[in-house]
Structure 1
Amino acid sequence: MLEEITIKNFAIIEELTISFQTGLTVLTGETGAGKSIIIDAIGLLIGARGSVEFVRHGQDRAEIEGLFSIEKDHPIRSFLEKTGIDTSDDMVILRRDITNRGKSICRVNGKLVTLSILREVGQSLLDIHAQHEHQELMQPEKHLTILDRFAKEMIKETLFDYKNRYHTYQRLRSQWRKWQENDQEMANRLDFLQYQLREIEQASLSPNEDFSLEKERHVLSHSEKLYQQLGSTYNSLNGEGKALDWIGQAVAHIEEAAQIDSEMAVQLERIQEALFTLEESASDIRNRMEAISFDPNRLNEIEARLDEINRLKRKYGETVEEILEHAARIEEEIDSLSNKEEKLAALEKEMNASALDVKAEADTLTDLRKQAAAQLVQDIMKELADLYMEHARLHVEITNLTSGIPIHTEEREVYVNENGQDHVQFYIATNAGEPLKPLTKVASGGEISRIMLAMKTVLARFQHVTSLIFDEVDTGVSGRVAQSIAEKIYRVSTHSQVICISHLPQVAAMADHHLFIEKREKKDRVTTTVTSLNDEKRTEEIARMISGVEVTALAKENAKELLQMAEKIKTNS
Structure 2
Amino acid sequence: MLTELSIRDFAIIDEISINFKEGLTVLTGETGAGKSIIIDAIQLLSGGRGSVEYVRHGMKKAEIEGLFTVDSDHPVHQKGSQFGVDINDDGMVVLHRTITHQGKSICRVNGKLVTLGILKEFGQTLIDIHSQHETQSLMDPDRHIELLDLFASSELDTSMKEYQSVFENYRSLLKRYKELSENEQEMAQRLDLLEFQLRELQSAELEPKEDEELTEERNKLMNYEKIYQGIHDAYNSLYGEQKGLDWLSHAMTSVESIADYDDRLSKMSEELSNSYYVIEEMTFQLSSQMAELEFDPERLNQIESRLNELNRLMKKYGASVEEMLEYSSRIEEEIDEIRNKDSHLSKMEKQINELGQDAVLEAKNIHDIRSKASDTLSEYIHEELKGLYLEKASFAVDIQLKEGRSNSPEFDGIPVHLQFNGFDIVKFLITTNPGEPLKEIHKIASGGEMSRIMLALKTIFSRHQGVTSVIFDEVDTGVSGRVAQAIAEKIHGISIGSQVLCISHLPQVAAMADTHLRIEKRVDNDRTFTGVTELKYEEKADELSRMMTGAELTETTLEHARELLKLAEKHKQHQI
Alignment of 1:442-521 (within 5 A): 442-465=444-467, 467-521=469-523
2:80 and 2:334 map into 1 onto residues whose CA distance is 45
Q: TM-score, normalised by structure 2?
A: 0.70
Judged with a 3 Å threshold, the aligned counterparts in structure 2 of structure 1 residues 483 and 74 are, in CA distance, closer, same or farther, namely: same
Q: How far did residue 368 of structure 1 move? A: 1.6
Superposition RMSD in Å = 4.6
Q: What CA deviation, in whole Å up to 9, does each residue of 1:257-312 have, x standing for no partner?
A: xxxxx99xxxxxxxxxxxxx9xxx9xx99xx9xxxxxxxxxxxxxxxxxxxx9xx9
Match of 1:2 in 2: 2
Q: How far did residue 106 of structure 1 move? A: 1.6
| 8 Å CA contact 2:61, 2:98 repeated in 1 | yes
Q: What CA deviation, in whole Å up to 9, does each residue of 1:334-389 have, x standing for no partner?
A: 42222111111222222222212221221111112122212211111111111101
Larger mean CA deviation between 400-409 and 163-172 belongs to: 400-409
2:20 and 2:378 map into 1 onto residues whose CA distance is 34
Q: How far did residue 33 of structure 1 move? A: 2.2
| 8 Å CA contact 2:198, 2:331 repeated in 1 | no
1:486 and 1:539 map into 2 onto residues whose CA distance is 17
2:468 and 2:16 map into 1 onto residues whose CA distance is 23
2:440 and 2:329 map into 1 onto residues whose CA distance is 60
Match of 1:94 in 2: 94
Report the 3-state secondary structure (helix = DSSP H, G, I; strand = E; otherwise coil) of the residue aligned with 1:485: helix
Gaps of 5+ in 2: 208-240, 243-289, 299-308
| 8 Å CA contact 1:77, 1:87 repeated in 2 | no
Report the 3-state secondary structure (helix = DSSP H, G, I; strand = E; otherwise coil) of the residue aligned with 1:62: strand
Judged with a 3 Å threshold, the aligned counterparts in structure 2 of structure 1 residues 6 and 189 are, in CA distance, closer, same or farther, namely: closer
Q: How far did residue 529 of structure 1 move? A: 1.3
1:342 and 1:488 map into 2 onto residues whose CA distance is 64
Q: What CA deviation, in whole Å up to 9, does each residue of 1:463-508 have, x standing for no partner?
A: 4445322111112222321121112222333444322101222212
Match of 1:143 in 2: 144
| 8 Å CA contact 2:106, 2:113 repeated in 1 | no
Judged with a 3 Å threshold, the aligned counterparts in structure 2 of structure 1 residues 48 and 185 are, in CA distance, closer, same or farther, namely: closer
Match of 1:28 in 2: 28
AA partner of residue 567 (structure 1): K
Report the 3-state secondary structure (helix = DSSP H, G, I; strand = E; otherwise coil) of the residue aligned with 1:159: helix
Q: What CA deviation, in whole Å up to 9, does each residue of 1:91-114 have, x standing for no partner?
A: 524130324162423233x66677
Q: What CA deviation, in whole Å up to 9, does each residue of 1:405-450 have, x standing for no partner?
A: 9732372311122222111112223133444333344452211110
Q: Equivalent pairs: percent with the same residue?
A: 46
Report the 3-state secondary structure (helix = DSSP H, G, I; strand = E; otherwise coil) of the residue aligned with 1:394: strand
Report the 3-state secondary structure (helix = DSSP H, G, I; strand = E; otherwise coil) of the residue aligned with 2:417: strand
Match of 2:343 in 1: 342
2:76 and 2:198 map into 1 onto residues whose CA distance is 59
Judged with a 3 Å threshold, the aligned counterparts in structure 2 of structure 1 residues 406 and 28 are, in CA distance, closer, same or farther, namely: farther
2:32 and 2:432 map into 1 onto residues whose CA distance is 34
AA partner of residue 503 (structure 2): I
1:489 and 1:192 map into 2 onto residues whose CA distance is 64
1:8 and 1:405 map into 2 onto residues whose CA distance is 59
Report the 3-state secondary structure (helix = DSSP H, G, I; strand = E; otherwise coil) of the residue aligned with 1:529: strand
Q: How far did residue 135 of structure 1 move? A: 4.5
Report the 3-state secondary structure (helix = DSSP H, G, I; strand = E; otherwise coil) of the residue aligned with 2:533: strand
Q: How far did residue 61 of structure 1 move? A: 3.8
1:473 and 1:318 map into 2 onto residues whose CA distance is 58
Larger mean CA deviation between 558-567 and 383-392 belongs to: 558-567
1:149 and 1:525 map into 2 onto residues whose CA distance is 48
Q: What CA deviation, in whole Å up to 9, does each residue of 1:82-131 have, x standing for no partner?
A: 6653234xx524130324162423233x6667767765665444433333
| 8 Å CA contact 1:426, 1:439 repeated in 2 | yes
AA partner of residue 127 (structure 1): D
| 8 Å CA contact 2:159, 2:366 repeated in 1 | yes
Judged with a 3 Å threshold, the aligned counterparts in structure 2 of structure 1 residues 452 and 406 are, in CA distance, closer, same or farther, namely: farther
Q: How far did residue 169 of structure 1 move? A: 1.6
Larger mean CA deviation between 133-142 and 513-522 belongs to: 133-142
2:331 and 2:414 map into 1 onto residues whose CA distance is 41
Alignment of 1:42-191 (within 5 A): 42-50=42-50, 53-70=53-70, 74-75=73-74, 79=78, 84-88=86-90, 92-100=92-100, 102-108=104-110, 123-183=124-184, 186=187, 190=191
Report the 3-state secondary structure (helix = DSSP H, G, I; strand = E; otherwise coil) of the residue aligned with 2:421: coil
Match of 1:557 in 2: 556
Gaps of 5+ in 1: 209-261, 264-276, 289-308
Tell me how many residue pairs correspond in the alignment. 483
